Structure 1
Amino acid sequence: MGTTVGFLYPGYSAEDDYPVFEGLLGGRVRLPLAHTLMREDAHRVDALLDVGSAEVLAEGARLLGGRGVDAVVWACTSGSFVFGWEGALEQVEGVRRASGAPATSTSFAFVEALRHLGARTVAVAATYPEDVAGRFARFLERGGARVVSTASRGIVTAAEVGTLAPDDVLDFVAAGDHPDAEVVLVPDTALHTARILDGLEDRVGKPVLTANQVSVWAGLRLAGDTAPRDGLGTLFRTETAVPV
Structure 2
Amino acid sequence: MPVAGFIYPDHAAEDDYPFAEGLFGRQVSLPVEHIYGTDLHAVAELLDLGSERRLAEGASLLAKHEPDAVVWACTSGSFVYRWDGAREQVEKLSAAAGKPASSTSFAFVHAAAALGLRRVAVAASYPRDVAEYFVEFLAAGGVEVMSMSSKDIDTAAEVGRLSPEAVLELAVSHDHPGADAVLIPDTAMRTLGVIPAIEDRLGKPVLTANQVTIWEGLRLIGDVPVTAGLGALFRDGAGQR
Match of 1:212 among 201, 210, 213: 210
SS in 1 for 2:132: helix
How far, CA to CA, are the matches of 2:53 and 2:226 in structure 1?
Answer: 35
How far, CA to CA, are the matches of 1:100 and 1:17 in structure 2?
Answer: 26
2:102 maps to 1:87? no
SS in 2 for 1:79: helix
Give 1:102's aligned residue.
100
Which letter does structure 2 place at the counterpart of 1:210?
Answer: T
Q: CA RMSD in A?
A: 1.2
Any conservation in 2 of the 1:3–1:225 contact (CA below 8 Å)?
no
Runs of 5+ unmatched residues, structure 2: none
How far, CA to CA, are the matches of 2:228 and 2:215 in structure 1?
Answer: 13
SS in 1 for 2:3: strand
Any conservation in 2 of the 1:115–1:241 contact (CA below 8 Å)?
no
SS in 1 for 2:6: strand
How far, CA to CA, are the matches of 1:7 and 1:160 in structure 2?
Answer: 21
TM-score, structure 1 normalization: 0.96
TM-score, structure 2 normalization: 0.97
Any conservation in 2 of the 1:35–1:60 contact (CA below 8 Å)?
yes
Which letter does structure 2 place at the counterpart of 1:89?
Answer: R
Any conservation in 2 of the 1:6–1:73 contact (CA below 8 Å)?
yes
For residues 75-130 of structure 1, what are the alpha-carbon distances to aligned partners after superposition, in whole Å with 9 as ceiling and x for unaligned?
00000000000100011011111111111000000000000001100000000000
Q: In the TM superposition, what is the alpha-carbon distance from 1:53 to its structure 2 partner?
A: 0.6
Farther off after superposition, 56-65 or 79-88: 56-65
Give 2:25's aligned residue.
26
2:49 maps to 1:51? yes
How far, CA to CA, are the matches of 2:82 and 2:238 in structure 1?
Answer: 29
Any conservation in 1 of the 2:219–2:239 contact (CA below 8 Å)?
no
Any conservation in 1 of the 2:125–2:150 contact (CA below 8 Å)?
yes
Farther off after superposition, 208-217 or 92-101: 92-101
2:66 maps to 1:78? no
Amino-acid identity (%): 56
Which letter does structure 1 place at the counterpart of 2:7?
Answer: L
How far, CA to CA, are the matches of 2:122 and 2:192 in structure 1?
Answer: 18
Q: In the TM superposition, what is the alpha-carbon distance from 1:66 to its structure 2 partner?
A: 3.7
Any conservation in 1 of the 2:24–2:225 contact (CA below 8 Å)?
no
Q: In the TM superposition, what is the alpha-carbon distance from 1:240 to its structure 2 partner?
A: 4.8
Give 1:13's aligned residue.
12
How far, CA to CA, are the matches of 1:233 and 1:240 in structure 2?
Answer: 11
2:153 maps to 1:155? yes
1:116-131 aligned within 5 A: 116-131=114-129
Which letter does structure 1 place at the counterpart of 2:106?
Answer: F
Q: In the TM superposition, what is the alpha-carbon distance from 1:241 to its structure 2 partner?
A: 6.3
